Structure 1
Amino acid sequence: MRGQHTPTSPWQNVAPARKLCREVKVSTMTDKGSALRRCFPHRQIWLKCVILLLRERRSEGCTCAMARRKDPLTQARPKFTELNDLISERLFYSRRKSSRWSRERVRTNGGKALFATDEWFAAAENLIKAGEPEWRPDAFTDSGKWMDGWETRRRRIPGHDWAVIRLGVPGVLHGLTVDTAFFTGNYAPRFSLQAANLTPEEAEIPHWKSKLGGAATPEMLKQISGLQSQDWEVLVPMTKLHAGHEDTRYNYHAIDNRGSWTHVRLNIYPDGGIARLRLYGEARPNWKDVSPDEPTDLIAMVNGGTCLGYSDAHYGHPRNIIRPGRGVNMADGWETARQLDRPSILEADSDGMLQMPGCEWAVFQLGHCGYITHIEVDTYHFKGNYPDSIRIEGTTEKPHGDWGQATWYTLLPPQKLCPHTQHFYSEKNLETTGSFMYIRVTIAPDGGISRLRLWGYRHNST
């Protein structure tokens, strides 16, 4: 049966604590903690308020002792890079056997390079590799220096080089990164990006086989001209690129067009090399094709799930846990740094839960509002660094910056986790099974998880 929403109780003491901190004319968290201790003599309530206030300050970007850690993934990078990479080759998945609760028979391919005018030094398919570019100083091929990216020959005929790439999943693009890593004297001076939303029939591209040291023949160019890709929507006009040195390799560009796309055309002017292309955005599946009576992973990236915020992503971004398939390794999951204020001697309560201050959290928007009936938490690869426990909450309110301000309802109460294990929770384990649009995942005290699946049924009214 669909349960009734019951607000999560730990937030009940935050309002008076927040009011007190505004009234007390002190600037440091140490002074505010002392003030809280005087007004809340009960030690458990006092500690709870201090921890929650520290968590709020962390989400607001404070530099207090517990939140001073800087996330290397987000420093000096635009906000859109926090979204999913829709062009990655790693989006390949098949849900035929992905979960004990799935009856779906959907198969989707990852991003794929479909055509390139020239691949003399390096193939266009390298652009969408999931891993970071490599540098091999002594590696050479019959065509010349081996490069981990797409590099064309020095053009000696009119025109410029371009490639057509299919997205891993149709979606809305918010921004891109053109990475010219290690292309220092041979990078493309300029680029532009075009896009189209093609039906399967329109996307029929003549057979083209990537070949190092090769180039498109006049016959191939005539066949590909049927796509009229030169007339596709321009998302990024001709823009200057920078050399692939460590401090200049990342070329960011926001995309304002909010159309949904399936294919892109990457133009380089006139020739040269690029290491990686990242297209950040949100998947836009056709929910009309999904029956309300069919169980669906509502948080999956390919179904439109998106990470909106988090407390820490020191070793791995939380957006990884909604990727398709099981994790490739620990880097393909969400992992935080260790809590700096952990006790010297750890203790557990009668239920086996560690008694430690602090926790880490991540907030997600579901691909579609719906009822969650089953949950899967996978700690695959996390053997010595898995969290002690996990709690999952939900809401229909859209959080705005301060994630604690929303009214969160407990979906899955705290559960002990095991290393390198798939944990399955059915409806009998859930405290609330109402309709949700936003989810907060809290791990305690820290650590990493590989995947999260929230199986349920989409809400008819949205």
Structure 2
Amino acid sequence: MLSKVLPLFILICVVFGLEQTSNVGERPAFVNNVNLLSSRVGASVVSYSDQFFAEAENLLNPIAPVFKPQTFTDRGQLMDGWETRRHNPNEYDWVILKLGLRGTISGFMIDTAFFTGNHGPQASIEAIHFDNANPLPEELEKSDKWVEVLPKVDLLPGFINQSQHYFDSLTQDQMWTHLRLKMYPDGGIARFKAFGKVLPDWDNMDPTQEIDLAFVGNGASVVAVSDMYFSSKDNIIMPGRGINMGDGWETKRSRTKGHVDWLIIKLGRAAKKINSLEIDTAHFKGNYPESCIVEVANLSDSQDVASAKWSTLLPRTKLSAHNQHIFDVSVDSVDNALSTSTVTHVKLTIIPDGGVSRLRVRGLFV
């Protein structure tokens, strides 16, 4: 049935100039971790065997793949992914990728979206850790230290509702810096994601220097959220300012009096002092929150956020459109202003709903 419907759908796209976007299927729990292979956090292509039809860097794009029918380059139909030439004489094509942030990996997502007659039918993944932050491509290609973290698996063509393939990593507690994706024997893959936990190099960080403890690169993660209907909770801890309204955290419109939305960030390291907060509403102009509240708590690793006892760090404060709001809190977390000796979690409540691009919590770590 699908084989009959799909050509008609593509014809409609051609006639009306529509773009197809890939599906989002049922996802495992590990996707709540950080995608260490996103270009947004600095992931990059080191080397590859071939990229004749489409560039390997497309694998790292955080935006979902799209298909533009009847759009051609001098090498064929424009494809949003990594695609190699036909008739590979070797067993597989490969690409070596540097993680944007070093860390452990709990699982992978390989998306073949829109590669329907040209997808890579099988894939495997290897990982490696290099102390040298930027090893030469030749060092990586020739190294015998690669560890298989996903044996050869089958991939389906990139039709709607079957393109996203999720796999657990064989090794989930070892730190990695690079991955090698093998595609058997050739073809195309749209996106490649590696979900895990960031492991900052705390030994080489000065505890007397202020840092953003709510930054993903410093190990922060969003552990709970009330709603993220329009855009992901994880955008709020990403580097830089948001590039557009979709690059932030946005909730649906509320219709109930007294409604609030909230999210909770686990800081990358416990804070002994918090100096300032930044709440950035970049690109949110008709949908920014009217106001916000920021609270803090100290939780052990075994405690759930539902049991947290919150202390107010920033009382209800009005926000404005498309603006970086900087608040000087200058509070030692051992002061009486807070009921906790250190701060491990920060809760942002927005009233009544809306969008926030970034939250920064600048201070000193324990």
Change (3 A) 1:144 1:224: farther
Structure richer in helix, relative to its length: 1
Aligned position for 2:16: none
One-letter identity of the residue aligned with 1:419: A
Q: Alignment partner of 1:331: what SS?
A: coil
Structure-to-structure mapping, 1:285-296, within 5 angstroms: 285-296=200-211
Aligned partner (choices 233, 238, 241) of residue 155 of structure 2 = 241
Change (3 A) 1:166 1:201: closer
Aligned partner (choices 441, 446, 450) of residue 348 of structure 2 = 441
> How many residue pairs are counted as aligned between the two chains?
337
TM-score, with length taken from structure 2: 0.87
Structure-to-structure mapping, 1:147-186, within 5 angstroms: 147-186=79-118
Change (3 A) 1:292 1:180: same
User: 2-side partners of 1:403 and 1:266: how far apart?
Assistant: 37
Can you list the C-alpha shifts for 1:190-223, whole angstroms capped at 9, x where unaligned?
11111111122771225xxxxxxxxxxxxxxxx7
Structure-to-structure mapping, 1:316-355, within 5 angstroms: 316-342=231-257
Change (3 A) 1:287 1:341: same
Shift in Å, 1:156: 4.2
Shift in Å, 1:266: 0.4
2:187 corresponds to 1:272? yes
User: 1-side partners of 2:33 and 2:185: how far apart?
Assistant: 30
Q: Alignment partner of 1:118: what SS?
A: coil
**Is this contact kept in 2: 1:412–1:429, CA < 8 A?**
no
| Structure 1 segments of 4+ aligned residues over 3 angstroms from their partners | 398-404, 428-434
Q: Alignment partner of 1:235: what SS?
A: strand
**Is this contact kept in 2: 1:282–1:305, CA < 8 A?**
no
Aligned partner (choices 18, 21, 38) of residue 88 of structure 1 = 38
Aligned position for 1:187: 119
Structure-to-structure mapping, 1:252-263, within 5 angstroms: 252-255=166-169, 256-263=171-178
Aligned position for 2:17: none
Shift in Å, 1:227: 2.9
Shift in Å, 1:404: 3.6
2:326 corresponds to 1:424? yes
Aligned position for 1:113: 45
Can you list the C-alpha shifts for 1:23-53, whole angstroms capped at 9, x where unaligned?
xxxxxxxxxxxxxxxxxxxxxxxxxxxxxxx
Shift in Å, 1:75: 7.0
User: 2-side partners of 1:170 and 1:201: how far apart?
Assistant: 10
Change (3 A) 1:323 1:423: same
One-letter identity of the residue aligned with 1:365: K
Change (3 A) 1:331 1:151: same
User: 2-side partners of 1:85 and 1:299: how far apart?
Assistant: 16
Shift in Å, 1:143: 2.5
Aligned position for 2:136: 204
User: 2-side partners of 1:402 and 1:156: how far apart?
Assistant: 51
Change (3 A) 1:152 1:293: same
2:335 corresponds to 1:385? no
Shift in Å, 1:74: 8.7
Q: Which runs of 5+ in 2 are unaligned?
A: 1-22
Change (3 A) 1:436 1:428: closer
User: 1-side partners of 2:246 and 2:26: how far apart?
Assistant: 21
Can you list the C-alpha shifts for 1:386-416, whole angstroms capped at 9, x where unaligned?
1111111122225889744221222222211
Can you list the C-alpha shifts for 1:330-383, whole angstroms capped at 9, x where unaligned?
1100000011224xxxxxxxxxxxxxx121111111111113221111011111
Q: Alignment partner of 1:426: what SS?
A: strand
Q: Alignment partner of 2:64: what SS?
A: coil
**Root mean square deviation, CA, Å:** 2.2
Aligned partner (choices 258, 265, 275) of residue 364 of structure 1 = 265
User: 1-side partners of 2:304 and 2:217: how far apart?
Assistant: 27
Aligned position for 1:227: 143
Change (3 A) 1:247 1:329: same
Can you list the C-alpha shifts for 1:292-344, whole angstroms capped at 9, x where unaligned?
110010110011001111110001111101100000011100000011224xx
Shift in Å, 1:84: 1.7
User: 1-side partners of 2:324 and 2:98: how far apart?
Assistant: 32
**Is this contact kept in 1: 2:274–2:331, CA < 8 A?**
no
What is the percentage of aligned positions where both structures have the same residue? 38
Change (3 A) 1:404 1:160: closer
Q: Alignment partner of 1:302: what SS?
A: helix
Aligned position for 1:77: 27
One-letter identity of the residue aligned with 1:393: E
Q: Alignment partner of 2:79: what SS?
A: coil
**Is this contact kept in 1: 2:52–2:84, CA < 8 A?**
yes
Change (3 A) 1:74 1:202: closer
Structure richer in strand, relative to its length: 2
User: 2-side partners of 1:137 and 1:75: how far apart?
Assistant: 23
User: 2-side partners of 1:413 and 1:440: how far apart?
Assistant: 12
